Amino acid sequence: MSNVTDLIAGMSLPVIAAPMFTVSNLEMALATCAQGMMGSFPAHTTRSGEMLEDWLITMAEGVVRLADEGVETVGPYGVNLVVAAGNQRLDQDLALCIKHKVPVILTSKGAPGEVFDAVHAYGGLVFHDIGAARHAEKALAAGADGLIAVCSGAGGHGGTLNPFALVNEVRQLTDKTIILAGAISTGQDILAAQIMGADLVYMGTRFINTEESGATDGYREMIIEARATDIFWGTITDAPSNTLTPSLLRAGVKLEDLRRQDPDALLAISERKKRWKDVWSAGHGVGAIHDVLSVEALCNRLKAEYAAAQAGLSRFQAAE
C-alpha cells in the first residue's frame, strides 16, 4: 500500500467500519471488505497474541479469497492498536501486525513516532485518532498518514468538539487525509463529510446493528429504541465515553453519581462490574438506526443513499 489516494481510489465508498471492542470481529471486518469498504477490529478484542495472529492470517487469506472469487472491489483492512504506554501488549501486537503486513494501522491514544516508522517500513499506513488540533499537530509530527477526527457524539470514548470546528481546524494544519468520526449513519452523511473537507468516514454505531457484529440482540434492540438524548456522556471507568443510558440504569448505576464523580459511589459502581458486560456504548447516531441488517445490505443501502445524495446536489446550484 503506497499511499492514501490509491487506498481510497480502490474502495467502493470512503467508509471505514470503525474498530469497536468486542463488537468488531472477523465476520464483520471481512464482510465489510467484501463490499469494497474498510473492515477493522481492535487488536485488544483478541484475548492473546496467538488469537490475534489467527485473526490476522484469516483476514489476509480472506481478502485474497474474495478477489479469487471474483469480488470486483475488495476493501482494505485495518487493525486498531492502542499506543498508550499502559498497553502491555503493544510491542507484541505491533510485531504481529508488522509480520503480517496489515495494510492500515488505526492508532489511538499517544502518538509514538517509532510505531509509525515501523508500519511505514513495510509499506503500511497509519491513521491516528485525535480529538483536538493539538493532538493532530503531534500526530502529524510523528508521521501519521491520516487523522481520525473523533467528534462530539461519537460512540466509545468519543470527542467533545463539533465536527465543523474540528475538521476546519485540522484542514488548516494539513492536506493529509482526514477521517471524520461521530454519528455518521447514512450515505448522505458520508457525502456531507466529504463536502466538509473529510476524505473518509469512520462508522461505528451503525455497524453494531449488523447481523455479523459481536453485539447481543438486546444491545441492538436498545440502539433501535434509542434517540441521541438516550446517550450518556461521562466518565465511568478511565475516560469520558458515550453510553446507552438505559443500559446504565438497568445495571443500577445512578447518573447523578457519575455526574458528581463521587469517589464512594464510583467505587460501589466498579464493585458491581460483573454486570458491566451489559453496559453498552453507542454514539448520537442511534436515532437514525431502525434495523439490524447484514453488512452487505447495509453497504448496499449506503451506496444507494450516497448516489441519491450526489444526484440531489444539483438542487443547490445557483440560478444562472
Cell 472469487 identifies what position? 69
The CB-of-93 to ligand FMN minimum distance in angstroms stands at 13
Give yes or no for residue 203 binding ligand FMN (CB under 6 A): yes
The CB-of-154 to ligand FMN minimum distance in angstroms stands at 3
The CB-of-241 to ligand FMN minimum distance in angstroms stands at 8
Among 25, 32, 87, 108, binds ligand FMN (CB under 6 A): 108
Q: How far is CA 168 from CA 6, 177, 254, in A?
A: 24, 13, 37
Dist CA 213 CA 261 (whole Å): 32
Please state, as a whole number, how many other Cβ atoms lie within 10 Å of the Cβ of residue 122: 14
Give yes or no for residue 244 binding ligand FMN (CB under 6 A): no
Backbone dihedral region of 143: left (phi > 0), alpha (psi from -120 to 50 degrees) or beta? Answer: left
| Burial class, 76, CB count within 10 angstroms (exposed 0-12 / middle 13-18 / buried 19+) | buried
Give yes or no for residue 14 binding ligand FMN (CB under 6 A): no
Give yes or no for residue 184 binding ligand FMN (CB under 6 A): yes
The CB-of-319 to ligand FMN minimum distance in angstroms stands at 37
Pattern 52-91, binding to ligand FMN, x per CB under 6 A? ----------------------------x-----------
- Considering the complex, state which of residue 4 and residue 181 has its C-beta at the smaller distance from ligand FMN: 181
Characterize 263-281 residue by residue with b for buried, 16 or more Cβ atoms within 10 angstroms of its Cβ, and e for exposed.
Answer: eeebeebeeeeeebeebbb
- Considering the complex, state which of residue 37 and residue 282 has its C-beta at the smaller distance from ligand FMN: 282
Give yes or no for residue 105 binding ligand FMN (CB under 6 A): no
Among 38, 96, 125, 183, binds ligand FMN (CB under 6 A): 183
3-state DSSP helix/strand/coil % of the chain, to nearest 5: 50, 15, 35
- Considering the complex, state which of residue 66 and residue 153 has its C-beta at the smaller distance from ligand FMN: 153
Give yes or no for residue 279 binding ligand FMN (CB under 6 A): no
Give yes or no for residue 4 binding ligand FMN (CB under 6 A): no
User: Alpha helices, DSSP H only, in 122-180?
Assistant: 133-142, 163-173
Give yes or no for residue 11 binding ligand FMN (CB under 6 A): no
For residues 254 and 310, the answer to whether their CB atoms sit within 8 Å is no
The CB-of-162 to ligand FMN minimum distance in angstroms stands at 14
Q: What are phi and psi of 236, to 5 degrees?
A: -110, -45
Cell representation of residue 121? 517500513
Q: Which residues bind ligand FMN (CB under 6 A)?
A: 18-21, 23, 42, 80, 108, 129, 150, 154-156, 181-184, 202-205, 281-283, 285
